[in-house]
């Protein structure tokens, strides 16, 4: 069953239940109040009749009229009763006086009275009963009293058909009202459920589309209620899902690129090695070819060895826990630069170092590898006689190392890709210098292990700057 149908059925059930029980309670309460009012009216009438009889019979007593028989007493009391005229709401009240010895005097009762019921009544007490005769309803009120030692009953037989008719009419109105309100409530709940569930229906449609692969779809958010909040949270979840899917796709693409690049990197030197080995095998007496082939096989073998080492380093660093120590930056950078200067002097490249002293928590051997790799890339991109700069500066809670060259630079279109494994900004230049295209990829992993950042800025024919940003508040 759809939720909208549940809403309609629920509203209908509430309306019918509330109006049925509530209306019935009100009608029955009003009915009982009217009956109680009629009992009070009958009580007051019987008391009025009793008081009038009492006043009119003061001259009679048992001492003076004790010898009179019961028939005469009945006649006297009946004669007095006939002289009493009582009107209520413009209508004459008919009543009778019933003698306990002659209950057939009740000429308005519609039949004889139950003598056992009369015997149970106490003097000066009243009894009530309701009776239906044909289509009419009556209230019977009886009050006993004593006259000349005989027991008599004031008997009122009052029609109250209008009260029962009124109750029937009220129930008819209740039924009609309940039917009308049920119809209105169904119409209103249908409209209301459509308005209320519009967001849910749209959310369901978007969910189906996303399930079919359209992860770009989003729910339109209207208002600030709980459903709008649900839609906003769904969109946030969809954004997170989209980012996660894109991340998985990127990882999958990176793995595919890695395998493709790795296959290419291995295949090229292996093809050359096989070719030169075949040449040596088929020309064993050509000394020049043997020398050239051996040198190329050695060179390509060293490049494969370098590639293998880099891959092992990447796998090891990704999975190992680093042991951090606190180092004094100025002294540490100067020791690295001393080792690099001899290497750079071969091309007459000057290394200029200017760092502010501070203490950082790092893994010195790995960060050393990063700096050496960046400086090596800088010298490969620089001409003989150029300068390479290493600057270090405290910037708030961070310490920034900048390695800058004035080399050929990197095109901005490929700048974002140079940290990828096997990517080479200048493949011919790198291959000639035994590069594997893994240096910056390895450096990026090392920097991330330090919760640091590596930013690269470059312009063609102006140079490249690599920025390493470390957190000074990092603890061991």
C-alpha 190/C-alpha 197 separation (Å) is 10
Close Cβ partners of 258 (under 8 Å, ≥ 6 residues apart) = 421, 422
Contacts of 197-200 spanning 24+ positions with Cβ under 8 A: 197/3, 197/4, 197/7, 199/227, 199/228, 199/230, 199/231, 200/3, 200/227
pLDDT tens digits, one per residue of 83-94: 787 777 777 777
Q: 143: which 2 tokens?
A: 């009050």
For residue 88, the cross-strand partners are 91
Share of the chain above pLDDT 70, in %: 83
What is the rounded average pLDDT of the residues 194-215? Answer: 76
- pLDDT tens for residues 372-382? 889 988 999 99
Distance CA 432, CA 428 (A): 6
Which two structure tokens, joined as six digits, stand for 146?
């004593």
Tokens for 235?
């969109």
Q: pLDDT higher for 245 or 395?
A: 395
Supply the angle between the helices 364-381 and 329-345 in degrees, to the nearest 10.
Answer: 40
pLDDT in tens, 432-474: 444 445 678 878 888 888 899 999 999 999 999 999 999 988 7
Tell me the pLDDT tens digit for each residue of 339-360: 888 778 888 999 999 999 999 9
What is the bridge-based pairing of β-strands 350-355 and 387-395? parallel
* The model's pTM: 0.45
pLDDT tens-place string over residues 250-305: 777 767 766 665 665 566 667 767 877 777 777 777 777 777 778 777 877 776 77
Torsion (CA) 426, 428, 432, 433 in degrees, nearest 10: 10
Give the contacts of 396 (CB within 8 A, at least 6 positions apart). Answer: none
């Amino acid at each position: 069953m759809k939720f909208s149908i549940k809403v309609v059925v629920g509203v209908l059930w509430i309306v019918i239940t509330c109006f049925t029980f509530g209306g019935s309670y009100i009608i029955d309460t009003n009915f009982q109040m009217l009956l109680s009012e009629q009992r009070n009216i009958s009580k007051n009438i019987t008391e009025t009749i009793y008081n009038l009889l009492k006043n009119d019979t003061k001259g009679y007593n048992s001492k003076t009229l004790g010898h009179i028989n019961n028939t005469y007493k009945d006649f006297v009391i009946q004669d007095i009763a006939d002289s009493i005229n009582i009107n209520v709401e413009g209508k004459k009240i008919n009543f009778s006086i019933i003698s306990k010895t002659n209950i057939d005097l009740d000429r308005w009762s519609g039949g004889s009275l139950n003598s056992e019921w009369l015997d149970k009544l106490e003097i000066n007490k009243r009894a009530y009963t309701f009776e239906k005769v044909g289509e009419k309803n009556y209230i019977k009120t009886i009050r006993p009293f004593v006259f000349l030692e005989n027991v008599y009953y004031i008997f009122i037989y009052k029609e109250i058909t209008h009260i029962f008719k009124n109750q029937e009419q009220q129930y008819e109105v209740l039924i009609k009202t309940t039917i009308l309100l049920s119809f209105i409530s169904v119409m209103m709940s249908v409209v209301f459920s459509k308005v209320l569930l519009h967001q849910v229906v749209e959310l369901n449609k978007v969910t189906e589309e996303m399930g079919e692969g359209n992860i770009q779809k989003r729910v339109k958010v209207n208002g600030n209620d709980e459903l709008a909040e649900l839609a906003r949270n769904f969109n946030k979840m969809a954004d997170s899902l989209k980012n996660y899917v894109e991340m998985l796709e990127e990882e999958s693409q990176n793995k595919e690129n890695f395998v493709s690049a790795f296959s290419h990197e291995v295949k090229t030197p292996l093809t050359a090695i096989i070719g030169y080995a075949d040449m040596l095998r088929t020309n064993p007496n050509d000394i020049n070819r043997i020398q050239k082939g051996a040198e190329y096989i050695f060179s390509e073998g060293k490049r494969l060895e370098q590639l293998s080492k880099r891959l092992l380093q990447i796998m090891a660093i990704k999975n190992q826990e680093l042991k951090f120590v606190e180092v004094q930056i100025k002294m540490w950078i100067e020791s690295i630069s001393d080792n690099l200067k001899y290497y750079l002097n071969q091309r007459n490249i000057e290394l200029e170092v200017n760092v502010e002293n501070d203490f950082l928590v790092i893994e010195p051997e790995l960060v050393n590898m990063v700096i050496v790799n960046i400086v090596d890339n800088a010298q490969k991109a620089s001409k003989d006689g150029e300068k390479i700069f290493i600057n270090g500066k405290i910037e708030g809670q961070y310490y920034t190392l900048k390695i800058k060259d004035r080399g050929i630079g990197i095109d901005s279109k490929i700048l974002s890709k140079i940290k990828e494994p096997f990517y080479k900004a200048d493949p011919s230049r790198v291959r000639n210098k035994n590069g594997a295209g893994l240096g910056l990829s390895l450096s990026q992993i090392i920097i991330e292990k330090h919760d640091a950042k590596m930013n690269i800025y470059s312009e063609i024919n102006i140079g490249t700057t690599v920025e390493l940003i470390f957190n000074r508040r990092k603890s061991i």
